[in-house]
Amino acid sequence: MNIGFLGLGTMGAPMARNLLDAGFALRVWNRSAEPVDTLAAHGAFAASSPAQAALGVDVLIAMLADDDASRDVLVDGGALAALTPGAIVVNMATVSLAFAREMRAHCEALDLRYVAAPVLGRVNVAQAGKLNILAAGQPNTLDALAPLFDVLGQRTWRFGDAPENANVVKLASNFMIASAIESMSEAAALAQGHGVAGSDFLDMITTTIFNTPAYTGYGASISKQVFEPAGFKLSLGAKDVRLALLAGEAANVPMPFASVLRDNHLDSLAHGEGQRDWAALSRVALRRAGLATDET
């Protein structure tokens, strides 16, 4: 199977590397050259444009930042147009439902097969090939992708034929992570407001009934009030909450927790915290309670 891979950021690079190591032929492209060179040194073909990466491949994987970057590269950048009819396009980025539908239409017009397959897991999980892959698309297309997904992830979850379903699931998942952060933030502020160190509370709760990565990772950052380096930037979290709200709006689903999250992310952004780790959202609860001190 011949594969094109667009987007070699913190997630894309290790994913592409795993495919290469598993013996797949890979044509790679990235906006900046350095990650391309690294993979070329391990045998990948360094494409000079998105279209060149798409030439003659059976499967084109895209792992780009957001809707705009995906549209720039896949549509305007000519990647889709360069594909052979019948080829499979796998979008693994977290994008809006509206864009997922737009992509689907583009692919249908070009006789391409479109699959959405966003992932759960951060960079270390991607490196270990242990992602959870949230996939939606035609069953036989998903069947064809199984050998590839098995390299990238520990398990592929299928959510039906409509590709955008997988994007809904991804947005719902990220909404739940944001909720976990906010929940810890308010609980820690409550404790701290009564003289119990937030870190004492969080250390207890994340080693007892909330002992799972979504809590232990962000909980440790909140506990120490250390938000650099950013594992996942707060500004990206804000974007995902926005996309979840838009998805809710499209189906008339009220999401009051997501609404609170939206407002608190804006509060964070207004206070210059967008480039910090998502856990910096915890600053809002402390600040509002008059408990915020300079973090270390």
**Taking CB under 8 A as the criterion, which residues in 6-65 touch a second copy?**
none
CB of 150 to a second copy, least distance (A): 16
- Judge whether 70 and 90 are in contact, CB under 8 Å: no
Interacting positions 104-133 with a second copy (CB under 8 A): 120-121, 132
CB of 134 to a second copy, least distance (A): 7
Binding to a second copy (CB under 8 A) within 228-247 occurs at 242, 244-245, 247
Beta carbon nearer to a second copy, 20 or 181: 181
- Contact of 234 with 281, CB cutoff 8 Å: yes
Q: Does 163 bind a second copy (CB under 8 A)?
A: no
Residue of the chain from 59, 87, 89, 191 that contacts a second copy (CB under 8 A): 191
Among 290, 293, 294, 296, binds a second copy (CB under 8 A): 290
Per rule CB under 8 A, count of chain residues that contact a second copy = 78
| 170 noted as active-site residue | yes
Q: Which is nearer to a second copy, 9 or 248 (CB)?
A: 248
x/- map, 250-289, a second copy, by CB under 8 A: xxxxxxxxxxx-xxx-xx-xxxx------------x--xx
166: number of Cβ within 10 Å: 26
85 near a second copy (CB under 8 A): no
Instruction: Determine how β-strand 59-62 pairs with β-strand 131-135.
Output: unpaired
Q: What is the chain's Cα-based Rg?
A: 20
Provide the β-strand partners of residue 91. 62, 116
Which residue in the set 175, 218, 232, 278 belongs to the binding site for a second copy (CB under 8 A)?
175
Which residue, 187 or 236, is less far from a second copy as judged by CB? 187
Residues with catalytic roles:
170
